[in-house]
A and B are shown apart, each in its own frame.
Chain A
Amino acid sequence: MCDSCWVAMYRNDRLLGGGLRFTHDLVITAAHCLGRNPRRGDTLRLYTAKAVVDGSDEEMFDGTVVELPRGDIALIEMHLPRGPGGHIPPTTARATRDDPWRATYRPTLELGALTGTVSVPSLPKKARDGEVIEVIQLLCPGNLGSHRGYSGSPVELEPSSALPRGAILGILLQQQPNRAKPQESSDTLYAVPVQEAVTRFESLSDRHLLECLIAESWQQQPIAGAAEGEDGKEGKDGPDQKKRRNSSVPMEHADLLLDMWGKADLLDAHQIQSIRAWMDEHRETDDDQNHL
């Protein structure tokens, strides 16, 4: 079972809810756990499963809200010391009908774990902010009347021979009110599937990841115009040139990035035009500055 892939979130000693530790430093949770008007840059305190269960001080970290896309989901970055880390990222799977599930996070250790079966693996549903998202409909028998406090919990598929560690299906988002007694919860809950959440976060988009890698690879490069080799190709850089590394993107990548940023409305036409003009100017005048 993935007993290490949940976190408890606190602000000013107040418990906010749970979250899925998706990578060693990224947590996915329900945005409504973070307060009425959560904003990017909000800070909070994150207790790993180990910290909650064992009381280990070394497993409590600061975190910052880095993304709040529509659909009542949020991405939080944990501020961790640099090092290999012992966290094993969770395995994930898609829900199928009648899958037995378990919520791995509990608001307090006195409470039992929510369990049940998947009643509908994929269903379009309006989130709190009105955005229609894909959800998993879960049956949670037990007549608890309320499931408050469990939001943000990872929903785990019970372990099987194929997946002995279990696999995360989604993150708990909502309870379905009882139609006869609307102040109470029915036995139906909703979770956002991991794939739905992941595709909504810019930090996990192909474009963003590629940009990270391109910038990194360029950082290792000598700047253009380094000493030419005998064959006329770019030669190896000398000690002085090695110092002049930077984290910019190469010019041929910049054109493509501008196109994409334009399409994604991250830059307007005027901004793109100014950058292109600057690029053209520098491309013509100084090959040594062949980067943004």
Chain B
Amino acid sequence: MIKTISDAVAYAERMLSDEDEHVLPREEADAFSRRLRLLDPASEPPQQLAEGITRLSRLLSRLGMRENARVVIQRALRHMELVEADQTIFPPSAWNQIAVQLALHGELDEARLVLNYALSRARDPSSSPQDASQDVIILTNLSVISLRSDNTEYAESWAERARAALRAHPDHPQAGRLDVTLASVVVDIAKEWGDPDRLEDAARELGASALRLLAEGGEGQPEVLSALATLADAKLTLARTAGSLNDIHTALGVLERVAQKTMVLFSAESPLALSTQANLARARFELARFSRSRDADAHIKSAVESLDSVVQLTFTALGEHHPQSIAAADNLATARDDAKAVVGLRENLAHFYRPRDNERRNFAKSEAIRREKDLIRIIAFGGASYFMGPLDRYKPDIEERLTRGTKVKVIISNPWNSIASYFLVGETEEPGEATTVNSPDVAMRHIQDGDYMQTFRPVITSYRRLRETYGDLIELRIAPMDIPGTSLLTSEVGFFEPYMTADPRHRTRRGLKTFEIEFGQISHFYDVDDRAFDEYWTISHTVDEYETAEEDFKWLLRRRLEILWATMSGRSK
């Protein structure tokens, strides 16, 4: 029975020793996962909770159970927040530790909030004296997390405050490590801002800080190796800016050694090794692209293969939605885009969902919508899942994104398009019974009373309401032709489900009937779907245009049905 964090740690340690650090087999991981559901953070003494969670999170990650680790951290955080509602229980260091774990799992926004709370706690006059040293650590972590969230201005501001705090505490037990971390942040900021003079200064400072730490603590310190990776990357940037091929080769050589050494010492799956390998592969790609050697194409291909392999490793190690994974995939996508003529596009699928995977598919699509910051694009037959109940499947996610400024573009099918010809097929009482033919009047009534009233009109009404609230952020268009499958495209990922059936009633407000594929932004399928969306969008009507021409669309369909009916009625039975 696993009830306390200590129980879970002991269990995970036993699994690790049994498995010799291998990822747990699925059934064992599932069994452990079930046991972890009973874990109660309240059973742990408050002084040991953050330590225990940190240890457990590391162990679970080594066992390949990253998602479980994330859930355990979230539960611990919720517990800490609840029990501190009207009293002070956990020291700033505990909040800081939880924030670090959140950041390691890619929850940067939440980590920043927790760190801000930890900072105010460390500065609370009633806090114990040891919290003054926590202040420097928390400020340093805030600068690192801001940088990882691409907020360089805040990263700089936090780094300056951390440095001032560090100067006020020169005897801080972790002074050397914090100094190197902050110097690395400053180098990355200068690199991000593209200021070579500033980058040179920052790199020199980082060199001095790393030397001091090396002199104090000797070889093999993670912070020194991390500084080496940052410094080598900065050197490469400077050499590129200066246009010195000789310096580029030298810097690339050192970066490669650092990348290989990092992988050897910390494992190929460590975030530092992965980011250094990604920087190396990207640098090799750029060098190959701009070199004019006769082997340039082969070198470009091999560099893109390296980037691809880093992306796959990063996905496996950190999960596909970790900010570092997204950055690595972006890196690869840019490289592929820059060298499309040489490398082509990938045809791999991220996931394949069968009807039995309906819930998993729904969850993945919800997640994709929730992560999108710029633009969500949807092609759907009826659009009920995105605009209306009864399930309200993705509508809350869409609305949540709209409140945060994400644009949403949707294309649905014109209810009076040629697919409605299907309603000429009459219902049969028994299987195997001869099919009857409906008259055009009956078929038109089927459409009017069926999908038109039950899906199309409610979707348009829902759209108009959303439009009133969110204005141009949401736009719906109506395609004049049949839509044979549904697509969802975000900046990172795409989904496509073919309908297969000609019966419009089986195309909307139902679970997964055929299959759905999920593919990354760097794939051939995304490229195809991306183009398809643009084509559909161009040829589709706005809602106002549609409403102006609706009677004409109805007339056209009725005419089509009459021609078809006449032909079918004349057939010999």
Contact = CB atoms under 8 A, between A and B. Distances in A.
Q: Answer yes or no: do A and B interact.
A: yes
Interface of A: 22-26, 82-89, 91-94, 96-98, 121, 162-165, 167, 194-195, 198-199, 203-207, 209-210, 212-214, 216-221, 236, 250, 252-253, 256-257, 259-260
Given A83-B293, A207-B214, A217-B231, A163 B268 contact: yes
A220 B200 contact: yes
Interface in B160-211: 197, 200, 203-204, 207-208, 210-211
B74 interface: no
A220 B238 contact: yes
B421 to A, nearest CB: 47
Contacts of A221: 200, 204
A216 B211 contact: no
Contacts of A93: 267-268
A210 B228 contact: yes
B449 interface: no
A78 to B, nearest CB: 12
B200 A253 contact: no
Interface of B: 20-23, 197, 200, 203-204, 207-208, 210-212, 214-215, 219-221, 224-225, 227-228, 231-232, 234-235, 238, 242, 245-247, 249-251, 253-254, 256-261, 263-265, 267-268, 280, 284, 287-288, 291, 293, 295-296, 298-299, 302-303, 305-306, 309, 312-313, 316
A245 B276 CA distance: 29
A93 B247 CA distance: 31
Contacts of A162: 23, 316
Given A24-B256, A94-B267, A220-B242, A213 B232 contact: yes
A89 B259 contact: yes
Contacts of A86: 295, 298-299, 302
Contacts of B259: 89
Contacts of B220: 199, 206
A213 B204 contact: no
A236 B214 contact: no
A91 B262 CA distance: 11
| A83, A84, A93 pick with most chain B CB within 10 angstroms | A84
A97 B20 contact: yes
B208 A253 contact: yes
Nearest to A121: B20
A219 to B, nearest CB: 8
B267 A260 contact: no
A83 B288 CA distance: 8
Contacts of A94: 21, 267
A212 to B, nearest CB: 5
Contacts of A207: 214, 219
Nearest to A256: B211
A227 B140 CA distance: 34
Contact of B204 (A96, A98, A212, A250): A250
B215 A260 contact: yes
B44 to A, nearest CB: 31
A91 B204 contact: no
A92 B224 contact: no
Contacts of A167: 268
Contacts of B215: 256, 259-260
Contact of A88 (B204, B221, B253, B305): B305
Contacts of A217: 200, 203-204, 207, 231, 234-235, 238
Contacts of A121: 20
A61 to B, nearest CB: 15
A91 B210 contact: no
A91 B277 CA distance: 10
Q: Which 3 A-B pairs have the closest CB atoms?
A: A96-B20, A84-B288, A84-B287
B261 A204 contact: yes
A88 B261 contact: no
B212 A256 contact: yes
A216 B251 CA distance: 8
Contacts of A163: 268, 313
Contact of A260 (B20, B214, B224, B291): B214
22 contacts: A22-B260, A23-B256, A23-B257, A83-B299, A84-B287, A84-B288, A85-B284, A91-B313, A121-B20, A162-B316, A163-B313, A167-B268, A198-B261, A206-B219, A210-B227, A212-B254, A214-B207, A216-B250, A217-B238, A220-B200, A220-B238, A256-B211
Nearest to A95: B20
Given A213-B207, A216-B251, A253-B207, A88 B212 contact: no
A88 B258 contact: no
Given A84-B303, A88-B305, A213-B231, 15 more contacts: A82-B245, A82-B249, A83-B293, A87-B302, A89-B280, A93-B267, A98-B20, A121-B20, A164-B309, A164-B312, A195-B264, A199-B220, A209-B232, A217-B203, A217-B234
Contact of A213 (B21, B254, B265): B254
B258 A195 contact: no
Contacts of A218: 204
B284 A84 contact: yes
A91 B219 contact: no
Given A217-B200, A256-B212, A198 B264 contact: yes
Given A86-B298, A216-B251, A257-B211, A194 B264 contact: yes
A206 B228 contact: yes
Contacts of A194: 264
Nearest to B249: A82
B214 A84 contact: no
Contact of B264 (A82, A92, A203, A206): A92
A121 B21 CA distance: 11
B228 A216 contact: no
A93 to B, nearest CB: 6
Nearest to B306: A88
A89 B256 contact: yes
B561 to A, nearest CB: 53
Contacts of B207: 210, 213-214, 217, 253
